[in-house]
A and B are shown apart, each in its own frame.
Chain A
Amino acid sequence: MEKVAEKVSADTPATAKTVLEVEGLKTYFFVRQGVVKAVDDISFSLKAGEKLAIVGESGCGKSMTALSILRLVPDPPGRIVAGSIKLDGKDLLKLSDAEMRKIRGNQISMIFQEPMTSLNPVWSIGNQISEAVMLHQNVSRHEAFDKAVEMLKLVKIPEPSRRAREYPHQLSGGMRQRAMTAMALACNPHVLLADEPTTALDVTIQAQILDLILELQERLGTAVVLITHDLGVVAETAKRVIVMYGGKIVEEAAVEDLFENPLHPYTQGLLAAVPHLAALSTQAGEAASRNRLKEIPGIVPALVNLPKGCVFAPRCPHASDVCRNEYPPYEMKQPGHGVACWHAGKLAGGAHA
C-alpha cells in the first residue's frame, strides 16, 4: 500500500490523467405521476487525486449522481437512460453485473451519510473491513484481518487491534464514520464518493472526519467526489465545485472562483444564504430585521414533468421570458468556469452583497 501511495502522489493533479469521466448521464425515475428526471444530462470529469465537490439543496440529484456512478440506482423505478460513465476509459454502463461488483468497493468506493446504520450491527468492524478486503483481494482471512487493523490505525482509531473486535454499537458516531472510511479505502480505490459524510455528525467531529478524508486521499492518491450541501465544507476541502439544481449542472468552477465570482443566480443565492459572522457582529447593534439571513425564495421543485425553460426560473430574481421558455445552454464564460444561465454575462460581479 505504501508503494501505491508514493507512486500516485508523485503525479501532480494538473498533469494527472482522468480517472472518471461522466458524459450526458441521465437517470430517470418512472413513477405513476410521470418521469422524474433525477439526473438530467450531466457531464464532468475527475482527475487522479482530484478533490471535487458537488453542492446543491436536498433533492437536486447529488446523491443520485453518486449512486448512478456505482450503478446502484434502485431499479425499478429508477433507470440510467442515457450517457456513459468511464472509469479509466472503460464504460461502466456496459459492464455485466458481476464485472460491476468487482468495481464497487475496489476501484470506486462510497461513504454514506449515516454512520450509525451503515455498518452491520451483528459483525465486528474488523470482520466487516476484512470481508471487504477478501471480496476484492485474494488474501487469507488472517491477512485480511491484519489489513483491517492497519486500516483502522490509518483512520486514527486508538488501539486498532482491540477496536477491530468491537461491534458498531460500541463505537461513537465519529468512530463509526472512521471505520466506514477505513472500509471504503481498504482496497485502495481510484475514486471515493463521499455522500454527505459529515452531515450526521456533530460539528467538532465533522472537521476531524473531513481532515481525515483529505489527509488519506492525499496519502493514497484517491480522487474524491464530495457531495454536500454545506458550502463551508466545500470551501475547506474541494478544489473544484459543481453546483447542481433540478438534476442539472448549473455552474462549475474552481473553488476560489466560485466563491468570488458566482455567475448563476442559484449559486449567488446559496452563497448569500451562508451566515457571515463579520457582518453580524459589526451591525449587531442595529435592527435585527435588516440582518436577517438571506434565503432563496421558494423550494426545490418536484422533478416530475418539469415545465420547459430554466428549472430555477420560478425562484430566480432575474428571470425573464426567455428563462421561462427555453433552458439556457451550458457555456464556458471564463476558462474553467462554466454556467447555464441566460443572464450570466450581466450578472457577473453581482455576487453576494
Chain B
Amino acid sequence: MSPPPSESAASTIGGHSESGPAANVSFDAELARAGANVNSRWGMALFLAKRYPLGGVGLAIVTLFILVAVFAPLITGHDPLATNPSISLAKPAAAHLMGTDFMGRDLFSRVIYGARTSLAVAFGATLLGVVFGVLIGLASGYLGGWVDLTTQRVIDMLQALPTLILAMAMAAALGPSLTNTIIAIAIPKLPSIARVIRASTLSLREMPFVEAARAMGMSEMRIALRHILPNTLAPLIVLATAGLGSAILVEASLSFLGLGVPEPHPSWGRMLSESAAEYVRTAPWLVIFPGLAITFAVFGTNLLGDALRDILDPRQRTSN
C-alpha cells in the first residue's frame, strides 16, 4: 500500500504539501497509483470492493435493505396490517414464511414493511442531523466569536446527555409519530456532526485559498458554502454513514419502549417489545426474525461506514 499522503487538514496549513486538505481530492490519484482503473466508475468500484471486501458486504446488505423497502408490495402478497385471529401465532410455514403474531398478522410482511420504517427513520434522521449539524458547525467555525461560543456551549449541553436518554426525552416531549421520531433521533446526532464540521472549518478558513477567494471579490457566504463546505465532506460522509446503524438501533429502542413510531406502522423494535415478554418461549420466531432484521441492518451500515472511513481517511488506514 502506498504511504498515506498528507491529506489531513492540519498538516497542510502553511506547508507546501502537494495536496489540499480534502481527502477526496488526491483520492483519484492515489487510487491510480495503487492500480485502479480510475477512468471507469465500474473499474473503481471493482477495485474498491476487492480491497475492502467487508465494505462490499456492507454495501450489499444496505442495498438489499433499500431494495426490500422500495419494492415491499412486490415481495410479499400479505397486508402487514391485516389481522386474522384464526391463524394467531402460526409457526413459520409456506403460507406465512416467518409465521404470524398474536393477532394473526403475517410476520414476513411486517418485517419487510418494517424496513421502510427503519430506513425512513435512519435516512431521515441522518439527513436532518447532517443538514443542521453542518449549518451549525459551519457558522460556528467560520464566524467564530460569540456565535461560536454560544453554539458550542449548547452543543456541550447536548453532548453531556447520553444519546438514548436524549432521544427518549425528545420523543416523550414531542409525542409519538414518525416525524417526531426522526426529529428525536436527529437531535442527538447534531453535536458530533457540528463538532467535526467546526473543527475542519477552523483550519480551512485560514487557508490561503480562502483569502484568494476574498481577493476575487466573493462574499463570505459564498466562501463558506462553496469553498469551505466541500472540503469538509470526506469526514462528513463517514460520520453520516456510520450514524445510519445507530439511528436504526435508537429507533428500535424507542419503539421497544413505546416512544417510537406508533401503530399502525410496522416497526422492528415494537415487534420485539410486543412479543418478547409473553411469547418468547411459545413463539420464538416473533423475536428472532425482527431481531435478525435489526442486526443485519446495523451490521451492514456499520461495515459500509468502516470501509468508507478507511477509503476516505488515510490516517485511519492500517497496513492490510
Contacts and interface: CB of A to CB of B under 8 A. Distances in A.
A112 B217 contact: no
Contacts, number: 87
Contact of B18 (A110, A122, A169, A180): A169
Interface stretch (A10-18, A97-105, A226-234): A97-105
Interface stretch (B111-119, B179-187, B208-216): B208-216
Contacts of A104: 214-217
B40 to A, nearest CB: 17
A182 interface: no
A170 B215 contact: no
The residue in B12, B24, B217, B231 that gathers the most chain A C-beta atoms within 10 A of its C-beta is B217
Interface in B225-245: 226-227, 230-231, 233
Contacts of A70: 215
B22 A109 contact: no
B165 to A, nearest CB: 38
B219 A120 contact: no
Contacts of B207: 117
A11 to B, nearest CB: 26
A183 interface: yes
Given A122-B231, A132-B216, A183-B216, A117 B29 contact: no
B153 interface: no
B29 A122 contact: no
A122 B17 contact: no
A86 B25 CA distance: 41
A170 B16 CA distance: 14
A134 B288 CA distance: 59
A136 interface: yes
Nearest to B5: A169
A106 B217 contact: yes
A116 interface: yes
Contacts of A170: 29
Nearest to B207: A117
Interface in A117-146: 117-123, 131-132, 135-136
B76 interface: no
Given A135-B218, A169-B29, A118 B212 contact: yes
B99 interface: no
Given A120-B209, A122-B24, A169-B26, A110 B218 contact: no
B21 interface: yes
A114 B208 contact: yes
A200 B16 contact: yes
Q: Number of contact residues on B: which range applies?
A: 20 to 34
Given A122-B231, A123-B230, A169-B18, A117 B215 contact: no
A71 B216 CA distance: 12
Contacts of A114: 208
B12 A120 contact: no
Interface of A: 70, 72, 101-106, 109-110, 112-114, 116-123, 131-132, 135-136, 167-170, 180, 183-184, 200
B19 interface: yes
A118 B208 contact: yes
Interface in B278-293: none
Given A167-B25, A169-B20, A170-B29, A120 B231 contact: yes
A72 B209 CA distance: 14
Nearest to B13: A117
Contacts of A116: 16-18
Contacts of B211: 72, 112, 118
Contacts of B213: 120
B309 to A, nearest CB: 19
Contacts of B208: 112-114, 117-118
Contacts of B29: 169-170
Contacts of B227: 120, 123
B215 A109 contact: yes
Contacts of A132: 216-217
Given A72-B211, A121-B21, A135-B218, 15 more contacts: A101-B217, A101-B219, A102-B217, A104-B215, A112-B208, A116-B17, A117-B20, A117-B208, A118-B212, A120-B213, A121-B26, A121-B209, A122-B20, A122-B24, A183-B216
B16 A122 contact: no
A121 B231 contact: yes
A122 B20 CA distance: 8
